[in-house]
Chains A and B, each alone.
Chain A
Amino acid sequence: MKEPTPQEIRDEKIWQSLGLTEAEYEQICKTLGRLPNYTEVGMYSVLWSEHCAYKHTRPLFKLFPTTGERIIQGPGENAGVVDIGDGWAVVFKIESHNHPSAIEPYQGAATGVGGMLRDIFTMGARPIAALNSLRFGELDDERVRYLFKGVIAGIAGYGNPVGVPTVGGEIYFDRGYTGNPLVNVMAVGLVRHELITRASASGVGNPVMVVGAPTGRDGIAGASFASGELTDDSEAKSPTVQAGDPFVEKLLIEACLEAIEAGAVVGIQDMGAAGLTSSSCEMASRAGSGIEIDVSLVPQREPGMTPFEIMLSESQERMLIVPRKEAVERVKAIFAKYGLPAVVVGKVTDDGMIRVYNGPNLAAEVPAKSLSTDGAPTYVRQAKRPAYLDQTQAFDLSTIPEQTDYTTDLLNLLDSPTIASKQWVYRQFDYLAQMNTVVAPGDADAAVLRIKGTKKGIAVTVDGNGRMVYLDPYQGSLGVVAEAARNLVCTGAEPIGLTDGLNFGNPEKPEVYWQLQQSIQGLADAARELAIPVTGGNASLYNESSGQPIYPTPIVGMVGLIEDIDLRMTSSFKDTDDVIALLGWPGSELGGSEWLKLKVGEPQGKPPVINLGREKALQKACLAAIRRRLIKSAHDISEGGLAVCIAESCIQGNLGAEVQLPWPGRIDGLLFGESAGRIIVSVDPTKWEELSELAASYGVPLVRLGRVTANKVVFTCAQDQQVVSTTVASLKKAWEQALPKRLG
């Protein structure tokens, strides 16, 4: 194919098919003072895509609190870095791979893991854990089952052989995600302070090297693809989904870390979305320098590739490295040991330009800053409160008749795939690799890893709740941050940093933009009030299929620090006759709950109101109780409410419970309401007094609900009526069989 000329690009509006708007094309012409050629238009089109440039979200990111005494690196790098003491820091970030996973679930998810890991080890950190946040349609749909199995296989097929344990995550099933599943991956790394490395091309005259896998034609302009809505012909775009090679990734991890440890590296950047274009321009613009490269020197997998293709390829498992001038041979030797190419393709310059040569011919010449995130246009759209809210918020609970027995409802909730055991999933992940996993997936509200050579541990979690955010983006988003923090606290960890993954529909629609605005405001307010800095994140917009946006789904990945790993907590009940109690404020809000979904299908009502002041006090009280060894289990009340929370603690401990609900009101709300700010704890009776005093000193209510028993699970209401009566074995069966029986 012959490339179009600059004039043809203008006259035939070829920029349009690359995803640029007319105004953006004109801005490029103005910046360059001439018509851009095909390679240049291509470079702008991928870097100015929503996926790379955050055109709609960047103005809103200013709302996030990003500083704190532990923050070593906030937003703007490949990943955030937070100090955990003893000379160690944790590096973490979340990223989405929604569009590729909707088309080709195995490779979409696999390359999502690969890209996320590269963002971690490019900071000099060894990846020590991966988590995932997944959303699919309902499992009664055959294609959903295909997508679900493919995504899980892809995560396992990539994460296991690279030797990074997948230690946790969350999975939701809801019709709102049928055509557009969400696949968000979070990775966590560990690094000595002195080895933290940044993606900056500094030192004029320093060489620029391409290392790792050779470049092919796969994934060309994938970032642009990911910045459009999924349509019926999206499957024809499957060539834009890249294929991952975990073996090369594993070699790349070892080689990069070895080169960084050898002190050979000035700057290093993953070639992810927008490949060589983004890595070179981001590295140059961060350093205020320029980069000159000759694409004919880039190792290529296929013959006859054009500069356009080489610059835009998203072939996986590649890195751009700026080594110290005298360390080039050292870097080559290290990569040769692992059988990986490492080739000098250019050098750092001082004029701020990205200059692309193809042999002797100049193929592109653009100012790095203009290409980078800082140079890309930003958009503040018109926001409009969606009309559906009038209907959902007017929902009247009294239309649902009250029942005398809720045993079946409890069993049905445990059998709902969103709440049910995810053992079928995490058994496919090597969650024990690297020998740090202290609390395995499913044993607590967050995964806990020890830090070898110290007394410390970290807890990690990912959380979201699209239905709640759909029903009230602001309150729902407050709730997401509050819940993630509560999950960490329930393991004995103090939250120290968060990364956000924003999954929304098309922001050009005023209703979607309103959701985005409200949601980010909520995330930011909660993060500020709970004093958890945001260290970076990811935005995935245009998540729509057949014109229908997904539920607005912000995901929060959070890391917490446990100073003494012996003082960690799990969610299972431990011994009979322990007191079961509610720490926190009683509540019975059913809006947006899993129970209401069972009853009415569509999301209805108003989500629980979040009181951040109370949330803060509750979390402090819970942490203090764990550190003073006053409680034996802690489990956050979330999906399915108090009854499901207690049922899960029973199942995990293989024990029963006798619970009396001391409050008036609708029984369904008391059992299954999802009001926030509540933690179920179990307590040795001899510690009850001391725990009561502690709770009171934090101004947090502590309500005695009952006791742990051998195997019967009974709830009675204030009028002494039995409202749930079953056994732990029945609960366990429903909870454990839910996924296997649907997946066959």
Chain B
Amino acid sequence: MKVAILVFPGTGGEQDCHYVLTEVFGLEAELVWHTETDLRRFDALILPGGASYGDYLRPGALAKFSPVMGSVIKAADSGTPILGIGNGFQILLEAGLLPGAMLVNESLLFYCGPQKVEVVKDRTPFTRGIAPGTLLDLPIAHGAGNYFIDEAGLAHLEANEQIVFRYAGSNPNGSVGAIAGVCNAAGNVVGLMPHPERAVEALLGSEDGQQIFKALINYWEAKK
């Protein structure tokens, strides 16, 4: 399996993801600059966290115009597993690949800290094999993670089982339904605000994030 980690101007989490995929899981991963227009050689895509284009206008609002996004949309349509983490999630929302929108945190302040996250749906490439209801310790770090969708949209999400993660314990940012992550209708595109890549080593406080990457590996093995 070969994973592309997309790098937009201002992205900050690409090295974290690269380190986790290659050093921790021994996968093949490549940093791909946002001007790339052909992603067909990759089996999965990750849009990492950070602040693409400085989060100017709205987080993700400018990155959606990057040349690479055309091929991201093609990959999404063809069923390639795509994971957006933090800012990557925001970009997928802005690009219309995932439903809903992101508001600034209810507190109006950036928030960084440990967070309990409940896995709601296991039928995605990134949660495969994780029993729904499982609680994961995954850190969050964002200023605009307040997920919003209108009532009709929410009903639609619930009916189609597109809610993948919810905040457990406390709702750190005011998200509708404590939603921490969603997927597209097909389930291959997943976005979440928590950072699983920052929780793969006991040394840093939690190994729960490993499950997300192991799920992808299992998905890939099963598909072969």
Contacts and interface: CB of A to CB of B under 8 A. Distances in A.
Given A427-B109, A432-B204, A450-B203, 6 more contacts: A161-B12, A163-B12, A250-B51, A428-B111, A429-B110, A434-B16
A432 B137 CA distance: 14
A245 interface: yes
A161 B55 contact: yes
Nearest to A254: B9
Contacts of A250: 9-10, 12, 51, 54
Contact of A452 (B9, B13, B19, B111): B19
Contact of B50 (A163, A428, A435): A163
A430 B109 CA distance: 12
Nearest to B197: A435
Contacts of B195: 432
B139 interface: yes
B56 interface: yes
Contacts of B139: 432
B113 A438 contact: no
25 contacts: A156-B109, A156-B110, A160-B51, A160-B141, A160-B143, A161-B12, A161-B50, A162-B12, A163-B51, A246-B54, A250-B51, A250-B54, A427-B109, A428-B109, A428-B112, A432-B195, A432-B198, A433-B12, A433-B141, A434-B15, A434-B16, A435-B20, A435-B204, A437-B204, A438-B203
Contacts of B50: 161, 163
Contacts of B15: 434
Contacts of B201: 435
B141 A432 contact: yes
A91 B143 CA distance: 29
Interface in B33-72: 33, 50-51, 53-56
Nearest to B200: A435
B45 to A, nearest CB: 20
B55 to A, nearest CB: 6
A538 B127 CA distance: 51
A161 B54 contact: yes
A431 B112 contact: yes
Interface string B76-108: 000000000000000000000000000000000
Contacts of A437: 204
B9 A247 contact: yes
A626 B112 CA distance: 30
Contacts of A162: 12, 51
B110 A247 contact: no
Given A432-B139, A434-B16, A435-B204, A245 B54 contact: yes
A338 interface: yes
Contacts of B16: 433-435
Contacts of A432: 112, 139, 141, 195, 198, 204
A333 interface: no
B112 A247 contact: no
Contact of A161 (B10, B19, B33): B10
Interface string B201-217: 10111000000000000
Contacts of A427: 109-113
Contacts of B53: 247
A631 interface: no
A337 B55 CA distance: 19
A279 to B, nearest CB: 24
